[in-house]
Amino acid sequence: MIKLEHITQTYVGPDGKVFEALKDVSIEIKPGEIFGIIGRSGAGKSTLVRCINLLNRPTKGAVIVDGRDLTKLGDAELRDVRRSIGMIFQHFNLLSSRTVYDNIALPLELIGTPKEQIRSKIEPLIELVGLTEHVNKYPSQLSGGQKQRVGIARALANDPKVLLSDEATSALDPETTVATLQLLQRINEKLGVTIVMITHEMNVVKQICSRVVVMNKGEIVEQGDVIDIFARPQSETTRALIGQVMDRDLPQSIVNTVNAAREKHGRDNVHLLHLSFIGEEVAEPVISLASREFNIDFSILRGTVDDLQGRTLGTLTLLVVAPTSVYKQAVDFIRNRGVLLEEITNV
């Protein structure tokens, strides 16, 4: 559906220095999926997503949408293709002097659609996004979530096949974010629109994306099914985004427990582990097997279970009291059974 092939984007700064905002980036997005692009601010996400509708013309590379390379199209053809690609933004980009209805109608007005046709087109959209009571209001009279719903309905007015979302929930509070993501999910299912979600928040990816690419400094550092990325993050960038960098988010209560165990059993005999696993992949009772095999006890310090598009992602932080040689064998034993195991050594 959408293929970006070897995209490079260079900018020349005021000092004449060449800066590469995208370095040989290739992605493929399948029809009907919700695809995530995540990275810190400045990673190149917006630059990349704006290549999909050529708001941004890449310095090098091909942009294939529905089998056609957009970089080779003339202006008129490009305008047509652009109409099949809707976009929503962090700051909504609504016209303050127009009502909700007139904001949503704008894309159709621009192509000369007759008034009645506009009405029959956008009324169902207004209902779909839940703005029926607010059609005559102005943007200043709306909450952030409502403004984004206007943005979403406007983006859908032209029956796009693709919806690009550039940090569309970043200005919203957590509850409104959840509701907006649910709406996008409904739109994806009901209308079959392919959605490309740009975000710097892993929670957004976790809630609705099926696949994700992780970007850092203009490059893709990791990509795959969302659950795999969460269960087995490979890059430091991904780990930081997931918040699994253990020295950062280990609560004081756990540190206290570890210190108490060290006093009791001796520093060298106390070990701390972090496990992540995908429920369906771990058929064996790994922990109790290891416990019996090596005759050691594991204490659960904390655990989480998440549902990601119907698959189960679990994490456990465990305390182990055992001589180092036995502990090392237990670590290998667990690692060989489909569980990602990280040793926490910096407490």
Given the rule CB under 6 A, which residues bind ligand ADP?
11, 21, 39, 41-47
53 counts as binding Mg ion under rule CB under 5 A? no
Tokens encoding 186: 């409904």
Instruction: For residue 338, count other CB atoms closer than 10 A to its CB.
Output: 16
Residue with tokens 């990673």: 43
How many residues bind Mg ion (CB under 5 A)? The answer is 1
Maximum distance among all alpha carbons in the chain?
A: 80
**Residue ranges in 114-133 that form contacts with Mg ion under rule CB under 5 A:** none
| CB 240, min distance to ligand ADP, A | 15
Cα distance between residue 222 and residue 217, in whole Å: 13
With CB under 5 to 8 Å by kind, the binding choice for 42 among Mg ion, ligand ADP, none is ligand ADP
Of the two residues 90 and 194, which places its CB atom closer to Mg ion in the complex? Answer: 90
Cα distance between residue 73 and residue 75, in whole Å: 7
Q: For Mg ion, which residue of 2, 7, 46, 218 counts as binding (CB under 5 A)?
A: 46
213-234 burial, b for 16+ CB within 10 Å, e for fewer? Answer: bbbbebbbbbbebbbbbbbbbe
Question: In the stretch 285-324, what mask flags binding to Mg ion with x, by CB under 5 A?
Answer: ----------------------------------------
Of the two residues 14 and 310, which places its CB atom closer to ligand ADP in the complex? Answer: 14
| CB 203, min distance to ligand ADP, A | 17
With CB under 5 to 8 Å by kind, the binding choice for 21 among ligand ADP, Mg ion, none is ligand ADP
Cα distance between residue 29 and residue 33, in whole Å: 7
- Nearest residue to Mg ion, by Cβ distance, number only: 46
Instruction: For residue 14, count other CB atoms closer than 10 A to its CB.
Output: 5
Of the two residues 46 and 244, which places its CB atom closer to ligand ADP in the complex? Answer: 46
| CB 13, min distance to ligand ADP, A | 7
Instruction: Give strand pairing partners of 88.
Output: 165
Strands (E) located in 153-296: 162-166, 194-199, 211-216, 219-225, 270-278
Cα distance between residue 51 and residue 332, in whole Å: 45
With CB under 5 to 8 Å by kind, the binding choice for 11 among Mg ion, ligand ADP, none is ligand ADP
| CB 318, min distance to ligand ADP, A | 36
| CB 46, min distance to Mg ion, A | 3
| CB 80, min distance to ligand ADP, A | 25
| CB 17, min distance to ligand ADP, A | 11
The radius of gyration computed from the CA coordinates of the chain, to the nearest angstrom, equals: 25
Of the two residues 13 and 74, which places its CB atom closer to ligand ADP in the complex? Answer: 13
Stretch that binds Mg ion, among 40-48, 201-209, 256-264, 268-276 (CB under 5 A): 40-48
Cα distance between residue 157 and residue 106, in whole Å: 9
Of the two residues 90 and 194, which places its CB atom closer to ligand ADP in the complex? Answer: 90
The SS3 call for residue 323 is coil
DSSP-assigned states of every residue in 101-126? HHHHHHHHHHTT--HHHHHHHHHHHH
| CB 164, min distance to ligand ADP, A | 12
Question: What residue ranges bind Mg ion (CB under 5 A)?
Answer: 46
